[in-house]
């Protein structure tokens, strides 16, 4: 056996096999060195008279997971990926890809260019480029339809999801599947050797196949994709490029694909989506160095919507849950909610009936705090009242183990004050889930003044196990997310008083890309919830219009969907209607406050709302509530429906540029006051 190493690629000769072994941790991305190594391997083994087959395989945890995202934004270097995949396909010696882990993007395109594909049954493949605002750029849109059919390719390329290879077994994508526990390298080598000895191994090029015609109604399909894409360009472009595969040779199809790929790569949407990918990974990297505690048994106090959602999240991630409520009735209602949450997973095909039952078998209910004596972590999720929360924590102090971590799910209250009632405040932290807690990805892990590294590191690791996007934040009213949400809400409410209509505001924000209009959100969550939370804060004298529109709604019994009316009116089926009565209550209040009515352009509404977020986000960073400025964007992408292809408020600020943000904030400060639009440190926007 002869070995030679070219950068991160080993070229191994073994009997009549030439093995191109990629060893580029963590995910074998197609860096320049890897691309060069593959081409060198193909050239070398093809030229050798001894080699009868070439295997492309990977070390570490996965086959190639895509182009090297870190190279995007830098000048492209040869060999370019489309040339690499074409070189593989045109090789005169049969090439076999050996797949495991996740073969994604460029990695899957490499596999599609190979003449054979073998895989572990657990392997997944996918073309997730649309998630980065891109389309496949190395033949994926042209080769995949030739292998799995146009309909399936259209689905895979436009949704960007990962597919288990055994789900695609009817398509001929995989020539040989091996059991999950097989030794893949050995199994691949013996499979190939058998093909060689039986004379069956041939060069079969996907690019030479024609695309099977299909009866897709392209105009209809593209309009559906556009609707689902909600403002994202890449899925629509991907569909159009796949359409070209029907009437073009692979060479021409790849030309169209490349042009579209390069254009998208320069787009603001792709920059935002790639930024989102990077900041999400950065958020998990904290200054905590302590090894987390192992958590198996979790106590949840409160079985209302929040507590049940939290319990569901823990159950679906394999934890034992001890649920506590004051009465048997409240426990029964909580169990009903948990069952409903879990059965919706069954309905959506995310969980089998037996997994549903197994999950339910891990929840234990009690009205006695003593049953928390075996818990590793307890999360309090009762209503927002500091005195009651303090009494819960004092009980917890006496019944839980000394090393049990005590977390509160409070949205606004002072965790330092809550922690003051226990003997060992370092074990108290915040774990702020977002509703519905079994669905929303965001988790704010809150560091109180005395919280220990151990408690925080454990909460971050638990968050990861729950599949949450965990962000470490400090204590202030509303922490990072809700403090910004309050600031955003203030601006929306002020614009209502100044003359923008309820519908205009919601439409302007959703047309811009927000998942929901801010006023429809308030109706959904209950206008009284925020109203009550704000009543704990003194009324700001410098801001007479502060949430007056919301207060007016509450005073008039318009609490939102639950009362059939709020900012909107709702019929019995829950359908929403604009309501003149709500507008007129707001007009009356505005007149009372002496606010001059005026008209708004949608652009101004969006601008002011986003600037409010930018201003508050920068203040939070300056105060050290978030560790890094990009955490603000992670919070808004995952907790508040901020459009991912717009990157987040701070990304938006960076796109505007420091100068323009400064001018706009100055103008707003002049119009209102420095109390509402304080001076913020803008230099961070240059980094
Ligand atoms: N390029 C460079 N680095 C990558 C990468 C890529 N394509 N994919 C992942 N990484 C890095 C991550 O940044 C992270 O680095 P860090 O440890 O320094 O933070 C590390 O690999 C591990 O990633 P994860 O934390 O995400 O690990 P997981 O095990 O949770 O997930 C994964 C692994 C499923 C591969 C996930 O990382 C992923 O989805 N990656 C992106 C895959 C992708 O989008 N591929 C397409 C790229 S575009 C393309 O190929 C264009 C082509 O068509 C021309």
Instruction: Quick: pLDDT tens for 458-468.
Output: 999 999 999 99
CA gap 11, 98 in Å, rounded: 15
Query: Cβ-count burial of 681 within 10 angstroms (0-12 exposed, 13-18 middle, 19+ buried)?
Result: exposed
Fold of 482-624+627-686: 1.10.1040
Which residues, in sequence order, are bridge partners of residue 442?
A: 469
Quickly state the pLDDT bin for 5 (edges 50, 70, 90): very low
Name the residue with the closest Cα to ligand 1, atom 20.
Answer: 26
Pick the catalytic residue from 101, 106, 107, 517. 106
Task: Give percent above pLDDT 90 in the chain.
Answer: 90
Evaluate: CB of 111 within 6 angstroms of ligand 1: no
Cβ-proximal residues to 295 (8 Å cutoff; 6+ apart), any chain:
319, 376, 377, 405, 458, 461, 462, 465
**pLDDT value of residue 68:** 95
Q: Which atom of ligand 1 is nearest to the CA of 104?
A: 45
Which residues, in sequence order, are bridge partners of residue 55?
A: 19, 96
Evaluate: CB of 81 within 6 angstroms of ligand 1: yes
Q: Do domains 2-266 and 297-477 have the same CATH topology?
A: no
Name the residue with the closest Cα to ligand 1, atom 22.
Answer: 26
CA gap 298, 560 in Å, rounded: 34
**pLDDT value of residue 248:** 86
Evaluate: CB of 105 within 6 angstroms of ligand 1: yes
Which residues, in sequence order, are bridge partners of residue 432?
A: 444
Catalytic-residue membership of 106: yes
Cβ-proximal residues to 315 (8 Å cutoff; 6+ apart), any chain:
321, 338, 342, 359, 360, 362, 363
pLDDT in tens, 474-521: 999 899 999 999 999 999 999 999 999 999 999 999 999 999 999 999
Name the residue with the closest Cα to ligand 1, atom 40.
Answer: 65
**pLDDT value of residue 131:** 97
**pLDDT value of residue 534:** 82
Pick the catalytic residue from 53, 65, 67, 271. 67
Spacing, Cα 65 to ligand 1 middle (Å): 6
Which residues, in sequence order, are bridge partners of residue 361?
A: none
pLDDT in tens, 263-297: 999 999 999 999 999 999 999 998 899 999 999 99
Fold of 297-477: Rossmann fold (3.40.50)
**pLDDT value of residue 72:** 87
**Mean pLDDT value across residues 367-393:** 96
* Cβ-contact 326, 366 below 8 angstroms: no
* Torsion 461-462-466-469 (CA) sign: negative
pLDDT in tens, 624-679: 999 999 999 999 999 999 999 999 999 999 999 999 999 999 999 999 999 999 99
**pLDDT value of residue 538:** 64
Spacing, Cα 277 to ligand 1 middle (Å): 8
Evaluate: CB of 594 within 6 angstroms of ligand 1: no
Spacing, Cα 101 to ligand 1 middle (Å): 12
Cβ-proximal residues to 641 (8 Å cutoff; 6+ apart), any chain:
514, 515, 516
**Mean pLDDT value across residues 453-461:** 97
* Cβ-contact 512, 643 below 8 angstroms: yes
Please report which residue ranges of 266-385 form alpha helices under DSSP H: 268-283, 305-316, 328-347, 353-361
Name the residue with the closest Cα to ligand 1, atom 53.
Answer: 136
For residue 7, pLDDT over 80 is answered with no
Spacing, Cα 106 to ligand 1 middle (Å): 11
Catalytic-residue membership of 581: no
CA gap 396, 389 in Å, rounded: 10
Name the residue with the closest Cα to ligand 1, atom 33.
Answer: 27
Q: Where are the domains of the chain?
A: 2-266, 297-477, 482-624+627-686
CA gap 74, 79 in Å, rounded: 14
Evaluate: CB of 137 within 6 angstroms of ligand 1: yes
Closest among 471, 497, 492, 501 to 610, alpha carbons compared: 492
Global pTM value: 0.93
**pLDDT value of residue 476:** 94
The verdict on domain 2-266 having CATH code 3.90.226.10 is: yes
Spacing, Cα 126 to ligand 1 middle (Å): 12
**Mean pLDDT value across residues 436-457:** 97
CA gap 561, 467 in Å, rounded: 30
Name the residue with the closest Cα to ligand 1, atom 24.
Answer: 281
Name the residue with the closest Cα to ligand 1, atom 47.
Answer: 66
Quickly state the pLDDT bin for 138 (edges 50, 70, 90): very high
**pLDDT value of residue 4:** 40
Give me the phi and psi of 528, to 5 degrees please: -65, -25
For residue 6, pLDDT over 70 is answered with no
Spacing, Cα 224 to ligand 1 middle (Å): 29
Comparing 338 with 214, which gets the higher pLDDT?
Answer: 338
Give me the phi and psi of 177, to 5 degrees please: -105, 140
- Beta pairing class for 442-447 and 102-104: unpaired
Among 25, 61, 69, 77, which is best to mutate for testing ligand 1, by the most ligand atoms less than 8 A from CB? 69
* Cβ-contact 283, 471 below 8 angstroms: yes
Evaluate: CB of 136 within 6 angstroms of ligand 1: yes
Question: Cα angle vertex 603, ends 568, 685, to 5°?
Answer: 115
Helix axes of 630-639 and 649-656: crossing angle, nearest 10 degrees: 130
Evaluate: CB of 106 within 6 angstroms of ligand 1: yes
Evaluate: CB of 67 within 6 angstroms of ligand 1: yes
What CA–CA distances, in Å, run from 539 to 489, 499, 542, 548, 562?
15, 23, 9, 11, 26
Evaluate: CB of 129 within 6 angstroms of ligand 1: yes
Comparing 39 with 534, which gets the higher pLDDT?
Answer: 39
For residue 535, pLDDT over 90 is answered with no
Closest among 144, 62, 159 to 109, alpha carbons compared: 144
For residue 545, pLDDT over 70 is answered with yes
CA gap 646, 613 in Å, rounded: 14
For residue 536, pLDDT over 90 is answered with no
CA gap 389, 622 in Å, rounded: 30
Closest among 111, 229, 220, 87 to 175, alpha carbons compared: 111
Cβ-proximal residues to 209 (8 Å cutoff; 6+ apart), any chain:
146, 147
């Amino acid at each position: 056996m002869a070995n030679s190493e070219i950068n991160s690629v080993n070229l191994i000769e073994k009997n009549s096999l030439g093995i191109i072994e990629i060893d580029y941790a963590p995910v074998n991305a197609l860096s320049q060195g890897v691309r060069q190594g593959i081409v060198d391997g193909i050239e070398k083994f093809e030229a050798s008279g001894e080699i009868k087959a070439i295997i492309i395989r990977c070390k570490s945890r996965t086959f190639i997971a895509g182009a090297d995202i870190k190279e995007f934004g830098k000048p492209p270097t040869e060999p370019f990926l489309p040339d690499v995949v074409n070189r593989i396909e045109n090789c005169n010696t049969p090439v076999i890809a050996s797949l495991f882990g996740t073969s994604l993007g460029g990695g899957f395109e490499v596999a599609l260019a190979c003449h054979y594909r073998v895989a572990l049954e657990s392997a997944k493949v996918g073309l997730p480029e649309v998630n980065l605002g891109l389309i496949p750029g190395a033949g994926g849109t042209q080769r995949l339809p030739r292998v799995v059919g146009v309909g399936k390719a259209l689905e895979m390329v436009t949704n960007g999801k990962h597919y288990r290879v055994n789900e695609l077994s009817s398509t001929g994508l995989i020539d040989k599947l091996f059991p999950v526990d097989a030794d893949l390298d050995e199994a691949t080598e013996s499979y190939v050797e058998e093909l060689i000895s039986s004379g069956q191994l041939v060069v079969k090029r996907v690019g030479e196949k024609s695309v099977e015609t299909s009866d897709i109604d392209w105009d209809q399909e593209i309009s559906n994709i556009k609707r689902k894409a909600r403002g994202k360009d890449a899925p629509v472009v991907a569909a159009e490029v796949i359409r070209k595969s029907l009437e073009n040779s692979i060479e021409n199809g790849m030309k169209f694909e490349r042009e579209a790929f390069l254009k998208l790569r320069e787009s603001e949407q792709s920059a935002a989506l790639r930024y989102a990918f990077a900041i999400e990974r950065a958020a998990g990297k904290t200054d905590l160095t302590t090894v987390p505690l192992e958590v198996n048994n979790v106590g949840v106090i409160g079985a209302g919507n929040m507590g049940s959602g939290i319990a569901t999240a823990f159950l679906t991630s394999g934890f034992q849950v001890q649920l506590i409520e004051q009465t048997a009735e409240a426990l029964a209602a909580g169990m009903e909610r948990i069952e409903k949450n879990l059965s919706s997973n069954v309905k959506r095909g995310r969980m089998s009936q037996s997994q549903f039952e197994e999950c339910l078998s891990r929840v234990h209910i009690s009205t006695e705090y003593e049953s928390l004596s075996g818990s590793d972590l307890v999360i309090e999720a009762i209503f927002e009242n500091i005195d009651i929360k303090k009494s819960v924590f004092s009980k917890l102090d006496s019944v839980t183990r000394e090393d049990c971590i005590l977390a509160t799910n409070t949205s606004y209250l002072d965790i330092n004050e809550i922690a003051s009632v226990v003997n060992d405040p370092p074990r108290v932290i915040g774990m702020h889930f977002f509703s519905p807690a079994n669905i929303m990805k965001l988790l704010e892990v809150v560091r109180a003044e005395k919280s220990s590294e151990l408690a925080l590191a454990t909460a971050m690791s638990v968050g990861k196990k729950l599949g949450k996007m965990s962000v470490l934040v400090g204590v202030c009213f509303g922490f990072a997310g809700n403090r910004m949400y309050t600031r955003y809400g203030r601006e929306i409410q002020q614009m209502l008083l100044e003359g923008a209509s309820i519908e205009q505001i919601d439409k302007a924000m959703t047309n811009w890309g927000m998942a929901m209009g801010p006023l429809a959100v308030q109706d959904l969550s209950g206008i009284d919830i925020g109203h009550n939370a704000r009543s704990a804060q003194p009324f700001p004298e410098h801001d007479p219009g502060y949430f007056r529109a919301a207060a007016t709604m509450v005073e008039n019994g318009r609490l939102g969907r639950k009362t059939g009316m709020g900012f909107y009116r709702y019929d019995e089926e829950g359908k929403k209607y604009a309501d003149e009565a709500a507008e007129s209550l707001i007009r009356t209040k505005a007149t009372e406050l002496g606010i001059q009515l005026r008209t708004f352009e949608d652009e101004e509404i969006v601008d002011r709302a986003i600037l409010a977020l930018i201003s508050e986000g920068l203040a939070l960073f300056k105060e050290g509530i978030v560790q890094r400025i990009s955490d603000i964007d992670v919070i808004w992408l995952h907790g508040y429906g901020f459009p991912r292809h717009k990157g987040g408020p701070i990304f938006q600020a960076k796109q505007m540029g420091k100068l323009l943000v400064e001018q706009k904030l100055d103008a707003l400060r002049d119009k209102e006051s420095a109390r509402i639009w304080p001076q913020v440190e803008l230099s961070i926007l240059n980094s």
